[in-house]
Copies of this chain bind each other. A is one copy, B any other.
Amino acid sequence: MLGPRVWSSVRQGLSRALSSTVGGWASGEGRKVDISGIYPPVTTPFTATAEVDYGKLEENLHKLGTFPFRGFVVQGSNGEFPFLTSSERLEVVSRVRQALPRDKLLLAGSGCESTQATVEMTVSMAQVGADAAMVVTPCYYHGRMNSAALIHHYTKVADLSPIPVVLYSVPANTGLDLPVDAAVTLSQHPNIVGIKDSGGDVTRIGLIVHKTRRQDFQVLAGSAGFLLASYAVGAVGGVCALANVLGAQVCQLERLCLTGQWEDAQKLQHRLIEPNTAVTQRFGIPGLKKTMDWFGYYGGPCRAPLRELSAPQEEALRLDFTSNGWL
């Protein structure tokens, strides 16, 4: 439960949100926030008894603070947000806000299943200091989440959010790809600034960039495995689980892409694919956290029902890093 100190900070966050962050576009100046750059989707550290370990969280952020990230995603899929209570979700964001320098963007995952809950969580996230809300598609009833339903959902959220909204499509978890036509329609909303696309379909990413080119709308790759290719087709950054352990390298890949050093970029990208797949699809958050332990961060356990890796899995994970020269 959020204590008084936190809620005080919530109130401060609210007034800050209403006066400053939103002000930009709401006042008609028409400049949406620029979300280009690299973001680690931070993990939520837990103690051995599965409590959120805020101290370790801050330590991780402190170490990650040395890299030229644009900001941090808090409570993306890698943050185990479905395992946190509402209070924990807000407290984590609040703590990250306090730990971050002001120039780092804090994108907070605020998606819930119902539109109403998503609105409330988004408003609360703004109050505790999020600069933008990253809103995953609702998914339990994905069979009925057609374009009309999703457009209605996101429009409502964006209408009522005091902070800019980033769409978030992650079919591996949700069973649902936000349809391109829905993304294009939503790109016209003044409070929707971009999309994080984790599906890895670069044809689709290129098409979204193309069809939203007349909007102030930015596309972030949702994984380091297709970061170079995404830059090549017009994405402006990435939310990369791998940046939690190879932060320097992912930022280096960004720099190579932005400065047109494609040959070096390609070589670096190649060496990141297997490690990236290992900490995402292949071994998931347990793999990411185990790797964090290896790289000097605090990974620690996941909440159940996620399970620790077995010894052979751990070995395979390690091989994906050693064979590419990272361990």
Contacts and interface: CB of A to CB of B under 8 A. Distances in A.
Copies of this chain, tallied across the complex: 4
Among A50, A203, A266, A270, the one with the most B-chain Cβ atoms within 10 Å of its Cβ is A203
A120 to B, nearest CB: 10
A26 interface: no
Nearest to A284: B144
A152 B307 CA distance: 9
Contacts of A266: 206, 232-234
Query: Main SS of chain A's interface residues?
Result: helix
A210 B262 contact: no
A138 interface: yes
Interface string A71-109: 000000100001101000000000000000000000000
Contacts of A175: 175
Interface in A267-309: 269-271, 273-274, 277, 281, 284-286, 303-307
A117 interface: yes
Interface of A: 50, 77, 82-83, 85, 113-117, 138-145, 148-150, 152-153, 156, 172-175, 200-203, 206-207, 209-210, 213, 223, 225-226, 228-230, 232-234, 260, 262, 266, 269-271, 273-274, 277, 281, 284-286, 303-307
